[in-house]
Copies of this chain bind each other. A is one copy, B any other.
Amino acid sequence: MEKCIEKYKKLDNIDIDFLIDLLGKDRVFVGEDINADYSHDELGGVSKYPDAMVEVLSAQEVSKIMAYAYKNNIPVVARGSGTGLVGSSVPIEGGIMINLTKMNNILELDEDNLTLTLEPGVLLMDIGKFVESHDLFYPPDPGEKSATIGGNVSTNAGGMRAVKYGVTRDYVRGLEVVLPNGKILEFGGKIVKNSSGYSIKDLICGSEGTLGIITKIILKLVPLPKKSISLLIPFPDLNRAISTVPKIIKSKAVPTAIEFMQREVILAAEEFLGKKFPDNSSDAYLLLTFDGNSKEQIEGDYEKVADICLKEGALDVYITDTDERKESVWSARGAFLEAVKATTTEMDECDVVVPRNRVAEFVKYTNEVQDKFNIRIRSFGHAGDGNLHVYILRDDLSEDEWHKKLSGVFDCLYKKSEELEGAVSGEHGIGYAKKKYIRRQYGEEYIELMRNIKLAFDPKNILNPDKVCE
């Protein structure tokens, strides 16, 4: 498949009129009326304005726009809250940006089937609140709570609770999707099992808006665990903290989450939030959560884990079982990204995932890379599921030095993750920014297969072009 920029039609007045006729003037934005926010996502680095940004309210509107774009060969990008970190929702080829944030209705809670049906623009934070008020639980817990559920499904977002509960994909029962040609199809449904043909639902999930536009989602819910407890466990150094994790997994305890953090990131979070963390005297920490239906049920697990940690050299074990203390710990954890960002001028990130027993080796290596390139690197993340967030900080580097060093650092980190049988992205996706690295790891044969799948959905390559496998 050749790149074919020249083949896309540039939006003209007739096209704009079509959009205004369909949606009304108030929901069509052109030229300078488009807010700069719509030209990039959260981490920046990749930037481009759409020719038109439109707000949609229904699958039918999305369908009509897609059918029109398909007929006229106009590129289209779907966008939620724009909290992505790899440029997935940046309209590299211009064209129409379909903003789905106003499709934000929770449509149905079905307590017989334990499902929640909603529009893609519903925010993650609103799902949690809603279902918990019905004594139900949507386990995926990505840090960015202002993301839309459509965005979460599109990147197969992971989050903290993946150790016990899995990722977004595991909770998507059904999807309504507008295909690149404008047709509306439904994949899956409220059913628990399904072996009726290829699982297109699972293919759409994680495809970063390149195969279709999600207009309705049916989520699986589970009963809300009645009790949870967090353990904050200081260690003399990071290596010892992380090396303990495979021993925890092997012990057959089932924590809900296992996060690792270093003192310097905690200090940044304290400064950013203006709030004290319960302890900041040690070099490294593990933060674990356990949940279940009774104190007795989780007690056995966390006592076993506390013993393992102490045996492996932990300095102490702080139990946080009040809402207040949990809030202080987890709000700090939730602010890490923003806190680190606030300490520098610009940053970029690496979201590798490695097998759980290779995390220590990877983190050790990031320290070597930090020294080798003489650049600040901060990392934290999900020790329990092997997904690391490594932030490379620009500080006062010149544009030139920054790009040179960044490229060298990324090269090293992604090569290392490949060597450890990991993958380029655990939960942030490939988008535009990480294409180079996925291609290097997977090779041409694999990328070609992905491209063929893309063409099976989108033969004109108009939906979110230049992403993932192109």
Binding site for B on A (CB under 8 A): 110-114, 135-136, 155-158, 162-163, 166-167, 169-170, 179, 183, 185, 189-200, 202-203, 205-207, 211, 222-224, 246, 249-250, 252-254, 292-294, 296-297, 300, 351, 353-357, 382, 385-387, 421-430, 438, 441-442, 445-446, 449-450, 452-457, 468-469
Known contacts A156-B199, A294-B297, A294-B300; 13 additional CB pairs below 8 A are A113-B246, A162-B193, A189-B423, A192-B353, A193-B387, A194-B425, A196-B442, A198-B469, A199-B203, A199-B205, A200-B450, A223-B252, A452-B456
Query: How far is it, in angstroms, between the C-alpha of A211 and the C-alpha of B449 when the chains are bound?
Result: 11
Residue A191 contacts which of B189, B198, B426 (CB distance < 8 angstroms)? B426
A199/B169 contact (C-beta < 8 A), A190-B355, A193-B426, A457-B449 known: yes
User: Can you list 9 pairs linking A and B with CB atoms under 8 Å apart?
Assistant: A189-B355, A190-B355, A191-B423, A192-B353, A193-B353, A196-B430, A198-B468, A202-B202, A456-B456
B452→A195 contact, CB < 8 A = no
Top 6 nearest A-B pairs (CB, nearest first) are A452-B456, A202-B202, A223-B252, A112-B357, A192-B385, A193-B426
A249/B112 contact (C-beta < 8 A), A198-B453, A422-B191 known: yes
B387→A445 contact, CB < 8 A = no
Q: Which residues from B are CB-within-8-Å of A167?
A: 193
Q: Which residues from B are CB-within-8-Å of A455?
A: 452, 456
Query: How far is it, in angstroms, between the C-alpha of A233 and the C-alpha of B416 when the chains are bound?
Result: 56
Q: Which residues from B are CB-within-8-Å of A355?
A: 110, 112-113, 189-191
A200→B449 contact, CB < 8 A = yes
B252→A196 contact, CB < 8 A = no
Query: How far is it, in angstroms, between the C-alpha of A293 and the C-alpha of B297 when the chains are bound?
Result: 8
Query: How far is it, in angstroms, between the C-alpha of A316 and the C-alpha of B222 when the chains are bound?
Result: 28
B354→A191 contact, CB < 8 A = yes
A425→B198 contact, CB < 8 A = no
Query: How far is it, in angstroms, between the C-alpha of A385 and the C-alpha of B452 when the chains are bound?
Result: 35
Q: Which residues from B are CB-within-8-Å of A453?
A: 198, 200, 203, 453, 456
A445/B203 contact (C-beta < 8 A), A197-B450, A252-B135, A430-B197 known: no
B112→A246 contact, CB < 8 A = yes
Query: How far is it, in angstroms, between the C-alpha of A454 and the C-alpha of B203 when the chains are bound?
Result: 13
Q: Which residues from B are CB-within-8-Å of A300?
A: 293-294
Query: How far is it, in angstroms, between the C-alpha of A89 and the C-alpha of B128 when the chains are bound?
Result: 44
In the complex, what residue of chain B is closest to A184 when comparing beta carbons?
B445
Q: How far is the CB of A303 from chain B (nearest CB, A)?
A: 13
A194→B423 contact, CB < 8 A = yes
A445→B192 contact, CB < 8 A = no
In the complex, what residue of chain B is closest to A135 when comparing beta carbons?
B252
A426/B111 contact (C-beta < 8 A), A166-B170, A445-B185, A456-B455 known: no
Q: Which residues from B are CB-within-8-Å of A382?
A: 193
Q: How far is the CB of A448 from chain B (nearest CB, A)?
A: 10
Query: How far is it, in angstroms, between the C-alpha of A354 and the C-alpha of B191 when the chains are bound?
Result: 6
Q: Which residues from B are CB-within-8-Å of A253?
A: 223
Query: How far is it, in angstroms, between the C-alpha of A117 and the C-alpha of B332 when the chains are bound?
Result: 38
Q: Which residues from B are CB-within-8-Å of A250?
A: 111-112
Q: Which residues from B are CB-within-8-Å of A424?
A: 196
In the complex, what residue of chain B is closest to A452 when comparing beta carbons?
B456
Q: How far is the CB of A107 from chain B (nearest CB, A)?
A: 14
Query: How far is it, in angstroms, between the C-alpha of A315 and the C-alpha of B280 when the chains are bound?
Result: 60
